[in-house]
A and B are shown apart, each in its own frame.
Chain A
Amino acid sequence: MITDQLYTTQFSDTNAKCTATIPNIPIETETFTQAYWLGWISNDNLPDAFKVGTFELVSGDEPAVKFTDITDYSKNRDFTYFTTVDGSGGYLTTFSAAPTFYDTVSTPPVWVAGGTNARLVNDMLYQSTGYGYISLTFFFPAVGALTGGTQTVQINIKNFIDFLQTQTYEITLTIGGDSFRINGQDFDENGVIWVEQNGTTRPVFIAQYEFIPMNSVLPGSRYIALYPAVHTGYTYNDSDFDSVSCTRRSLGYADFLRIRGDTLAVSYVRNDNIYPVYADNTPKNLFGLNTVIKISDLATVTTEPYIQDGVCVSYSYGSGGSPFFYNFYKIFRPADIYRHASLLRWCIGTNATGYVEYGIYYPLVDLITNEFKCALITGAESHVKPRIPAWMKYDLSESTYTEDDKPLPEPPDIDSDGDDITPYDFVNTPLAAANNFITLYAMNADFLTNFGEKMWAALGDPNFWAMVGTVFLNDCSINPADMMKYIIFLRYYPIDLSAFGTLANGIYFGRATVPIVPDVGVSYPYRINRNIVQLTGGTLTIPRYYGDFRDYEPCTDITLYIPYCGAVKLCPAEVTGKTLELTYYLDLQTGALKAIVRLYSDTTYIVASVAGTCGASIQVSANNNIEFLQRIATVSMGAASGVSSGLNAGGEIGEVAAGFGGVLGAVGSAASVGLGAGIGAAIGGVGALAGLPPVAVHASGNTTGFANLAGSLKAYVTIQYQKYVVPKNYGHTTGYAVQFDDDIKNLSGYVLCENVDTTGLTCSEDERTAIKQLLERGIYV
């Protein structure tokens, strides 16, 4: 097991399979209103390993490699930090925001005149955003030439913390001449920090405090969250710095320490997912016109965003081709990955003048996995052998993380092609064979209104109808009276359809292409080039609440609500702790909607597939103006003079009518003979139309309820948790449910057995029976 290997060698193979994970670490969950230094690393929540022992100085015999491990690594780091005076003035304190996964801590840089660690106490807590650890930097005034041999200092963490709590600066260490940084992970399995330095004994100040938020943690380093603090909010006011507030979600949503290593395909070192676009890798100005830093397709991220998905971006930048700066920044959620250069801009700052030589992004799981592997890979590809703190070792040995929590196995690869699920790419399939039978147009409400006005308003737009007549009859020999019959349906969809087609300057009606010219301000329709469109429904990580069996059935129900598709139950065992990815497939012709929910980490794993209907049909209709006018003419046909005068008096309409006359004449309808002149008269006498026979109205499509469009537009998950009452001393009085076998001598505390075999007991049968009954009812060992 890798844990064993870690314990014995403190170093693991790069790709060794982890079979255990880091369980929860005790955390404080209270809301701090008055903070104090290391309030969330108190003796109460310190593992025993940190509570024992006394402060002592030991000279000598530790191998120098320990020093190398710590300081060689640390000194290459470039964390944001703040500095305070060492008691003699001269330093100021500054802060930088420490964002967490979810939260942005709105904090202007604050400068506080240093001099009191009591002030820093509060500041530090303010900085404790929930993920990270506190690092201390010892400042060692260099005085004169250093002499002497190697000396080693052991600091027991309890005393170390006690020391910090006393807010006493001076600590006498046999160190001199340089500044070193240590943090919680530098405590070894005995709770000891090893620091050694050539030099003479001199007073040392804790001069720099450093809070390293998790998002600044180097993947693969020894730096992990020591004691994540959970704050629901913290505000501090005094005369020295402005109000600081932060709101964050509880650790339950970011319990990344549960991440397993062995479920991950780890992209471990400097992958190519961020790269300069320039093939020659020539450094470019980061924020100039040539600044293009890309993160390649998200699909290349093969790791499992198990609880939280995010990335940590590292990069180097500098000038003259010599990068001098490594840094590791903000953990982003997947959506943020797409922010490309802006992401790096955030990292470096808008005033950066250097260039990015290369970038690395690590899915968050890598942070943990690499952490667990305890192998540090820096830009120089050097490895650091970390130490496993005793508390971690203890916890690992007690880990209850089991195979049960692994993602479900992938389905067998029946045909050995590596992927048995080959989704049909129907999305990009064009209308294909149906393409020249039907055509889809997407249009907005303005266009529809405009189109309708042309057909319906009064007698319609004469120019429009003239054009229709010309196109239909002259070009295609189609009776324009049938125009509306060519419209199959009109449907409304609550999505922006512009992305799925190209602008069209005409609409096909049968063989006729009617060059629709919208009025000014009205956009042209889009000709849609596909039947089915794919829509992204976003992602969602299903959190754990309890972090144990209660997050699963039958204690927890998870219901997924998908707009227009309804609700569907999800299997908690399948989705809890996983990130889901929702994709819609919409058939524009029928409104059929298919929502497919996949695992983000494995898009061939379909969690749910739900069908629904999207959109609403709208009936379209138009009276046949040709027919309309024809009937008018019929009524008016009695007087040829009327026709004539109507023509003369009709003005503009007369001109149109003349056009129709030509149209209808071409049709050769008996009723239309001579109509061109008659229409004008008819229109002139439109007030006398009351006695006309009904005008035929052509209709297309049908109507469905818009009410179906109501409801949430975003898919969401409702998780219904059963409440439990966990009695105090539950383990002692009732016992936790377990399933294992062992000799009773290896057990302690409450033990309840099942089907006890009393073979081997040499007592009487009555006693054996009594013993069996007692063991099956529960005893204390």
Chain B
Amino acid sequence: MKAFLCTIPPSTLLLDKRSYYADAVKTELELEIFTPCDIMNPVLKLQNQYATGFNYMYLPTWGKYYFLDDATILNGEFCSMPARMDVLTSNADEIKNLHVRVVRYETQKDKFLYDHRLPKSSKIFTQNFEFSSTPFTYTESVLDTKIPHYIMSVIGGDGTS
């Protein structure tokens, strides 16, 4: 089966790696796949000279992209190399058309949306803010015997309101 092996830099979580693949130096091989074969996780039979130096592969037969894992040397000539389908890139065009509900995103959309994942320190800090004035004058007036602070209530009145 024809395969194009290469090395690409982006994260495995990048949705569409095809541009990186396109820019990469690719090695075209006719390789054998061990059977029975799981399309999602095929195991390649490669000559030992290809055991290292690749992390990505495109199989035109299936039209799928694969991540390549570490190879296992089988004998003096061949090695086996497990591959995992890159389901994102392999289906990138369709995925891009998915309408999704996003709950975490690269850029902040609403600063007032509570974010439970923001790392919280065990520390707190406080700030005090005083009101602009107060009617209470106890401290200042203790020594001021001229300010009427006392209320005396007595029985009686003069008949007026």
Contacts and interface: CB of A to CB of B under 8 A. Distances in A.
Contact of B100 (A442, A541, A727, A741): A741
A75 interface: no
A444 B137 contact: no
B124 interface: yes
Point out which of B16, B108, B151 has the most chain A C-beta atoms below 10 A from its C-beta.
Answer: B151
Contact of A492 (B116, B149, B154): B149
A204 to B, nearest CB: 43
B110 A404 contact: yes
A545 B125 CA distance: 11
Contact of B135 (A443, A535, A779): A535
B157 A486 contact: no
B154 A487 contact: yes
A493 B156 contact: no
A585 to B, nearest CB: 11
A713 B120 CA distance: 35
B63 to A, nearest CB: 10
A555 B121 CA distance: 11
A738 B113 contact: yes
B72 interface: no
Contacts of A584: 135
A513 interface: yes
B115 A756 contact: no
A709 B134 CA distance: 14
B18 interface: no
Contacts of B61: none
Interface residues of B, number: 76
Given A539-B132, A725-B119, A752-B104, A436 B158 contact: yes
A743 B98 contact: yes
A766 B161 CA distance: 90
Contacts of B118: 550, 724, 726, 730
B110 to A, nearest CB: 5
Nearest to A752: B104
Nearest to B129: A717
Interface in A747-780: 747-758, 760-764, 766-767, 770-771, 774-775, 778-780
A588 interface: yes
A779 B15 CA distance: 6
A751 B146 contact: no
Contact of B150 (A490, A742, A762): A490
A741 B123 CA distance: 35
Contacts of A449: 145
A769 to B, nearest CB: 9
A747 B103 CA distance: 12
Task: Tell me the dominant secondary structure on chain A's binding face.
Answer: mixed
B135 A724 contact: no
Interface string B114-155: 111111110111111111111111110100011111111111
A737 B134 contact: no
B88 interface: yes
Interface residues of A, number: 135
Contacts of B10: 780
Interface string A708-750: 0100011111111111111100111011111111111101111
Nearest to A597: B131
A311 to B, nearest CB: 15
Contact of A549 (B85, B95, B96, B112): B112
B136 A563 contact: yes
Nearest to A448: B150
A424 interface: no
Interface string B82-93: 000101101100
B129 A525 contact: no
Given A542-B129, A721-B125, A764-B39, A734 B117 contact: yes
Nearest to B127: A719
Contacts of B155: 437-438, 485-488, 508-510
Contacts of B87: 763, 767, 770-771, 774
Given A439-B157, A443-B152, A775-B100, 9 more contacts: A400-B111, A431-B161, A493-B150, A494-B136, A497-B150, A614-B136, A747-B105, A756-B98, A763-B94
Interface of A: 333, 335, 398, 400, 402, 404-405, 430-432, 435-449, 485-498, 507-513, 523, 525-526, 528, 535-543, 545, 547-550, 552, 555, 563-564, 580, 582, 584, 588-589, 614-615, 618, 620, 709, 713-727, 730-732, 734-745, 747-758, 760-764, 766-767, 770-771, 774-775, 778-781
* Across the A-B interface, the 5 shortest Cβ-Cβ residue pairs: A749-B106, A735-B104, A494-B138, A436-B157, A538-B133
6 contacts: A488-B153, A552-B112, A737-B117, A743-B97, A745-B96, A763-B90
Interface of B: 10-11, 13-16, 39-40, 85, 87-88, 90-91, 94-121, 123-139, 141, 145-161
